[in-house]
Amino acid sequence: MYIVDDPTLALIARFVGDSSREPVADKEFFRRQVAAIEEYVERFPEAERESRALAWIEANAKQYRQQWQKQTAIVVLATVRCPDCPLSGGDERSPCAIHTHWLELLQRYATGDLSSHDYVQKSLALLAAHKDGLKVSHLREPVRWLNPAASCRN
């Protein structure tokens, strides 16, 4: 999903989002926007529909796109999780405590209950509160290049 109007949401989507879903989300956005315009203009006489469609686009397209991007980001990011999350207990389907709280913050940001500044501050506070749980205490599998002696033996 290409996000142009919201720098905070663009940053989140770029670093956390699932880019493989982008074309589908964009196609669905255009399909739904065209459907919304068609639904709006059908109440007008045929001769007025083109001008009414252009007026709708001028008045509503930016806000429609912004809302779509926020809601799509929440849906996509709700299913994305860190594959090596130390807080999930090995459960690859359930979000950890941080992810659950972070999604709540994202939802509040998307609905306008939090400013981007407050969203960033609260997200950083959330990470700080869980920093001990996020520390990697041991490697799950040894990495050969970290141990030169191991690579010399093979």
Given a contact cutoff of 8 angstroms between Cβ atoms, the answer to whether 3 and 69 are in contact is yes
Which has more pLDDT, 127 or 82? 127
Average pLDDT for 139-153:
47
| Residue from 86, 98, 88 nearest 122 by CA | 98
Whether 22 and 72 map to the same domain: the answer is yes
Residue 71 lies inside a defined structural domain of this protein:
yes
DSSP states of 18-42: -GGGHHHHHHHHHHHHHHHHHHHHT
Whether 6 and 67 map to the same domain: the answer is yes
Quick check: pTM over 0.85? no
Residue 48 lies inside a defined structural domain of this protein:
yes
Residue 142 lies inside a defined structural domain of this protein:
no
Token readout for 10 is: 């663009």
- pLDDT per residue as tens digits for the range 86-142: 666 655 666 677 788 888 888 898 888 998 899 889 988 888 887 776 665 554 444
Round to whole Å and give the CA distance between 70 and 80: 15
Q: What is the domain extent for residue 100?
A: 86-131
Whether 56 and 117 map to the same domain: the answer is no
Whether 72 and 122 map to the same domain: the answer is no
Round to whole Å and give the CA distance between 2 and 83: 24
- In this prediction, residue 52 has a pLDDT band, given cuts at 50, 70 and 90, of very high
| Residue from 120, 67, 76, 130 nearest 98 by CA | 130
Whether 24 and 99 map to the same domain: the answer is no
Whether 10 and 28 map to the same domain: the answer is yes
Whether 93 and 40 map to the same domain: the answer is no
Round to whole Å and give the CA distance between 134 and 141: 18
Given a contact cutoff of 8 angstroms between Cβ atoms, the answer to whether 9 and 69 are in contact is yes
Mean pLDDT of the chain: 75
Q: For the chain, how many residues are written?
A: 154
Residue 33 lies inside a defined structural domain of this protein:
yes
pLDDT of residue 58: 92
Residue 19 lies inside a defined structural domain of this protein:
yes
Round to whole Å and give the CA distance between 119 and 126: 10
3-state secondary structure at position 78: helix
